[in-house]
Amino acid sequence: MRPAHILFIQADQFRADCLGAAGHPLVRTPHLDALAAGGARFESAFCTSPVCVPTRNSLLYGCWPSRHGVVSNIGTEAHAEARPGLRAFSQVLADGGWQVAQVGKWGASRVVQPADLGFSHYRPLAEYDAWRAEAGLPPVPTAGGWWGEADTGISAAQSAPAWGADRTIELLTRAAADDQPWFIRWDTNEPHLPCRPPEPFASLYDPATVPPWPSFADGLAGKPYIQAQQRRTWGLEGWSWAEWAPIVARYLGLITHLDEQFGRVLAALDELGLAADTLVIFSSDHGDTCGGHGMIDKHFIMYDDVWRVPLLARWPGQIAAGTVSQAFVTTPLDLAATFVEAAGLELPDTFQGHGLPALLAGAVERDAVYGTYAGSQFGLYSQRAVRERRYKYVWNPTAEDEFYDLEADPGELVNRATDPALAGEVARLRAKLADWLRATGDPLDNAWNQTTLREGRKE
């Protein structure tokens, strides 16, 4: 059964564990929790690459960065535009008779714009800045730098998330009056750092009550040099949790503010009579350290803090309410396939994902997920990773490998890549990753790397 409409809400840098429904002990997300209760919450959802631009292109084109060619963020040595000839899911929908609309952050390219890929309606985030200035409101504060601060010059109703919710509701109202099906996408810039929530959300969580992440107490022993350098680059060496807690409190406050605005959009679906016939999906492009492993932002790591993402899906009549799924999901690839299949259209042969209903039904079996990374504005640095339920292996071709027993060490604090007791498991996952490199046509698939992985030529 095809839904009448599809609503996709994507946050930026939203940790998978920052939902009440996911068990966070403090954060309040009642509207997202209600969305999860009305459909499915996926506990094992991961992005293709834990940075914005590669993952956003994977969502558009439904394939791995190695296929679309966008392996790093804009402004890095390795950045390139997507290879020509690929079809985006939005083009497939538009060609199939759907109205395709987006509000907010684009973040996929400075060259290719939404109109080039089938979006007939686009309200860019830059419009909010113009709206704010025209309303006579003060500019966004910047005194706090990357650490963030309260945006005291506005009310919560005057924030960028509120502006985005207003624009999304406008599109839903048009959809309700239209005979055509609509795909509406709202991408927030939040809670990407710097976090600048308005009141009362800036003061909602007392830093003294914010618990450390399970990954916080990481001495980085036996781990790649670049991780300690990431701390040095940001000037974070030796930070205590007391120094991190105010930053994390603002992050959580911004998440609760986002939840309030998501709630307004979901309420509009009900008021417009669209909820019963609309597929609603919420996710994020990637996560955030936000103090995890003593780091800020992301880069040079494949920790679950940044690789794992929230994923909620509600589709009345197709997804059973209250479902909690452990199925491994590679969100960009699988969401692109979900959008096209839900619209009743044919997947391009370049797509590499599977629709969520098939994953929920167990029609697609996965015993692991895979991830990639190529570097940032701080420098290039290749990584490939494979994660099963218990074990995670991170191949760092130019640095120490990483291996984590997630059952014993969910915070990924102890690197056991050279532990003799786990040598067999390390070898098994290295071979598994080598198979995946070959199967996906990864640019690092060559005779040298295949031999290195399969024969364990690493310390």
Task: Provide the β-strand partners of residue 386.
Answer: 370, 393
CATH number at residue 404: 3.30.1120.10
Same domain, yes or no, for 434 and 310?
no
Same domain, yes or no, for 158 and 12?
yes
Residue 334 belongs to some domain of the structure:
yes
Same domain, yes or no, for 363 and 383?
no
Q: Which of 318, 344, 367 is the last residue of a domain?
A: 367
Which DSSP symbol is given to 254?
Answer: H
For tokens 């940032």, the residue is 376
Residue 47 belongs to some domain of the structure:
yes
Surface-to-core class of residue 126, CB atoms within 10 Å of its CB (0-12 exposed, 13-18 middle, 19+ buried): exposed
Q: What is the mean pLDDT of residues 407-435?
A: 98
Q: Which of 345, 367, 389 is the last residue of a domain?
A: 367
Give the number of other CB atoms < 10 A from CB of residue 364: 15
In this model, does residue 459 exceed pLDDT 80?
Answer: no
Same domain, yes or no, for 284 and 410?
no
Give the number of other CB atoms < 10 A from CB of residue 34: 18
Does the pTM exceed 0.85? Answer: yes
Residues 69, 405: Cα–Cα separation, whole Å: 32
H-helix segments, 272-400: 304-307, 331-342, 356-361
Which DSSP symbol is given to 293?
Answer: G
Amino acid at 353: G
Residues 79, 132: Cα–Cα separation, whole Å: 32
Per-residue burial over 399-415, b = 16 or more CB atoms within 10 Å of its CB, e = otherwise? bbbbbbbeeeeebbbbb
Confidence at residue 1, expressed as pLDDT on a 0 to 100 scale: 79
User: Cis ω on the peptide bond leading into residue 194 (within 30° of 0)?
Assistant: yes
Confidence at residue 110, expressed as pLDDT on a 0 to 100 scale: 94
Closest among 142, 141, 137, 128 to 155, alpha carbons compared? 137
Same domain, yes or no, for 363 and 385?
no
Query: Per residue in 101-157, pLDDT tens?
Result: 999 999 999 999 999 999 999 999 999 999 999 999 999 999 999 999 999 999 999
Q: What is the mean pLDDT of residues 307-322?
A: 97
Same domain, yes or no, for 294 and 391?
no
User: Cis ω on the peptide bond leading into residue 191 (within 30° of 0)?
Assistant: yes
Residue 111 belongs to some domain of the structure:
yes
Same domain, yes or no, for 241 and 340?
yes
Residue 373 belongs to some domain of the structure:
no
The sign of the dihedral angle between the CA atoms of 2, 118, 313, 170 is negative
Closest among 417, 416, 378, 384 to 398, alpha carbons compared? 384
Residues 119, 100: Cα–Cα separation, whole Å: 5
Same domain, yes or no, for 63 and 99?
yes
Same domain, yes or no, for 95 and 202?
yes
Amino acid at 230: Q
Structure token digits, residue 440: 């996906």
> Contact 6/343 with Cβ under 8 angstroms?
yes
Same domain, yes or no, for 147 and 60?
yes
Residue 372 belongs to some domain of the structure:
no
**pLDDT band at residue 47 using 50, 70 and 90 as cut-offs:** very high
Task: Provide the β-strand partners of residue 182.
Answer: 5, 99
Give the number of other CB atoms < 10 A from CB of residue 375: 21
Q: Which of 367, 386, 410 is the last residue of a domain?
A: 367
Q: What is the mean pLDDT of residues 68-81?
A: 94
In this model, does residue 366 exceed pLDDT 90?
Answer: yes
First to last CA, the chain: 53
Residue 440 belongs to some domain of the structure:
yes
Q: Which domain holds residue 420?
A: 378-455
The mean pLDDT of the chain is: 97
CATH number at residue 108: 3.40.720.10
Q: How many CA atoms are closer than 13 Å to the CA of 299, on its beta-carbon side?
A: 21
* Number of domain units in the chain: 2
Confidence at residue 235, expressed as pLDDT on a 0 to 100 scale: 97
Same domain, yes or no, for 196 and 147?
yes
Same domain, yes or no, for 423 and 288?
no
Give the number of other CB atoms < 10 A from CB of residue 331: 29
Residues 206, 211: Cα–Cα separation, whole Å: 11
